Structure 1
């Protein structure tokens, strides 16, 4: 099926009487992604969302007429939402989940907002479309006991200096992509400066004594190995056969989490340290506004997930104390300290 195209009259082509046909879809997407301050993972996700919509739209080109971005209507976006929400006759399963539809429509809306600002289109067909409502995802925090097991497992890895420093940084609320983007200059011996972050949530993250000690140990270990650390050097390096000496990537962090998961006997991922950080500070009674500053949340509604999780844990702990049960469930007791 032909791709979305737009007919543009080129002055040179006109001189020889031939219209110049160019494919604008990928060019517009590329320009949109270049204009956004996004991590590689976010760029990949945005591109995939737009491709999901385009694949659906292309399949209906014959009935929907011209395929330029500016000719897509709100009715067609509604049709996409409705069609992708339906169950397939053969499997009785939905074509796309509400979360995927919501994300795709949100990306499409942002894309059209950008094209409007650039003057490429005059309307946003996704602007008035209601996004599917989602249940609030649960906070996936780790208990103190689980964190201890993970750190103990990291000591026995082939690269304990880097891996422990990495875990301590993750344990201070950083996203995996933010850790990958850190340079040597972003660490001043006391705190980290986040310059590249999701939704431009940049900021400063203070580190506790143990995190600073392990990060200093790792950097001294690199210097002892002959590396001359400069401002632009990656804070964390890869030591894999394929990428040894390069900046540690998201895949490298994921592989480490998978290996540690196999060692400790329970599955976890890097983002759970972010959940754990916020929940722990709530349980310690820190001012929620200060926690939001450190977690770099812009939306109180999104941050509310963490406070609810902490309130639930605190309520359960208070319940067992009130009824005099000393045999408190381990997942609650491990938060008591």
Structure 2
């Protein structure tokens, strides 16, 4: 098992150094590989060279029995295919048994989003007289106002904010950089936080260049951001689930509903492929149908 662990560690180094993968992607890949190692041990397979197509079919059957979504299964297969491709390159294995494994057809679920009335309740819960309240409001305004990922928000530094152009420099997947504009509500919340709240939170001058700090003055983590959002929902007395991606979905959906074109939304979200952005058109099609049914004189008898 030491050899397996060593090969996994080499792959993680490859993801970090050569692929510039995000910390979230690396953590998911590590979990997927460790889960596969556990299955190998349970099936008395001790080397990656022993894995063949028939073994992979048994593995897939186990994943289906656990009622994992097709998206989760596809991610695990993609991870293991990349892992073997790396091992082939490094000559630890001579073939990639995952190459001929067919990916499950994607489910293309319609993304969940907030209605504008629900968001209004969230924007009213922060205590803007306290440093933490100012920070929380700035986080909420930025996540909804820019559609950035929580991992991108976590990595923001003060120097990434340009108030003269009202834009943020954001580092996305694969460390790809893009500029995102932000509006007047986010600008007001950010200026308030930087002028007052952040100066109170930071314990030592120059201790951290990160934009968002925790209550101890250190960098705020992605988990910390999720905890903040959960508390805001609870304080707003809303009976809805929240996750940072729901704010990202809301950003895209509301832009498209307001008339933005798909290519612009793709650029703002940092999607490499337009197909990733097209999931939001399902939502806007429903709205277009409602508008048509309520507006066109020949829509209803």
Give the TM-score of the pair, scaled to structure 1.
0.77
More off after superposition, 29-38 vs 260-269: 29-38
Q: 1:180 aligns with which of 143, 154, 170?
A: 154
Aligned to 2:143: 170
**Are the structure 2 counterparts of residues 200 and 70 from structure 1 closer, same or farther at C-alpha, using a change threshold of 3 Å?**
farther
| Cα distance, 1:278 vs structure 2 | 0.9
CA deviation profile, 1:20-65 (whole Å, cap 9, x unmatched): xxx634433433443342333322211111111111111122xx5x
More off after superposition, 99-108 vs 141-150: 99-108
Aligned to 1:207: 182
Separation (CA, whole Å) in 2 of partners of 1:109 and 1:55: 17
Structure of greater Rg: 1
Aligned to 1:237: 213
Q: 2:286 aligns with which of 291, 294, 312?
A: 312
| Cα distance, 1:270 vs structure 2 | 1.6
Retained in 2: the 8 A contact 1:185–1:231? Answer: no
Alignment of 1:274-289 (within 5 A): 274-289=248-263
Asked if residue 79 in structure 1 is aligned to residue 91 in structure 2, the reply is: no
**Are the structure 2 counterparts of residues 157 and 163 from structure 1 closer, same or farther at C-alpha, using a change threshold of 3 Å?**
farther
Which structure has more relative contact order (CA 8 Å, sep 6+)? It is 2
CA deviation profile, 1:225-255 (whole Å, cap 9, x unmatched): 495876961110011xxxx111111121111
Q: Secondary structure at the match of 2:126?
A: helix
Retained in 2: the 8 A contact 1:184–1:232? Answer: no
Retained in 1: the 8 A contact 2:157–2:210? Answer: yes
Q: 1:250 aligns with which of 187, 202, 222?
A: 222
Separation (CA, whole Å) in 2 of partners of 1:41 and 1:177: 8
Asked if residue 34 in structure 1 is aligned to residue 16 in structure 2, the reply is: yes
**Are the structure 2 counterparts of residues 215 and 271 from structure 1 closer, same or farther at C-alpha, using a change threshold of 3 Å?**
same
Q: Secondary structure at the match of 1:220?
A: helix
Aligned to 1:219: 194
Asked if residue 24 in structure 1 is aligned to residue 22 in structure 2, the reply is: no
Give the TM-score of the pair, scaled to structure 2.
0.86
**Are the structure 2 counterparts of residues 205 and 4 from structure 1 closer, same or farther at C-alpha, using a change threshold of 3 Å?**
same
Separation (CA, whole Å) in 1 of partners of 2:201 and 2:105: 54
Q: CA RMSD in A?
A: 2.6
Q: 1:50 aligns with which of 30, 33, 37?
A: 33
Retained in 1: the 8 A contact 2:208–2:218? Answer: no
Aligned to 1:20: none
Asked if residue 191 in structure 1 is aligned to residue 189 in structure 2, the reply is: no
Paired residues in the alignment total 290
CA deviation profile, 1:279-311 (whole Å, cap 9, x unmatched): 111112222111111111112222111122122
Aligned to 1:140: 112
Q: Secondary structure at the match of 2:179?
A: strand
Alignment of 1:255-334 (within 5 A): 255-264=227-236, 265-267=238-240, 268-322=242-296
Q: Could you tell me which runs of 5 or more consecutive residues in structure 1 were left unpaired when the two chains were aligned.
A: 7-22, 87-93, 325-337
Q: Secondary structure at the match of 1:154?
A: coil
Q: Could you tell me which runs of 5 or more consecutive residues in structure 2 were left unpaired when the two chains were aligned.
A: none
Q: Secondary structure at the match of 1:192?
A: strand
| Cα distance, 1:119 vs structure 2 | 4.0
Alignment of 1:50-69 (within 5 A): 50-61=33-44, 64=45, 67-69=46-48
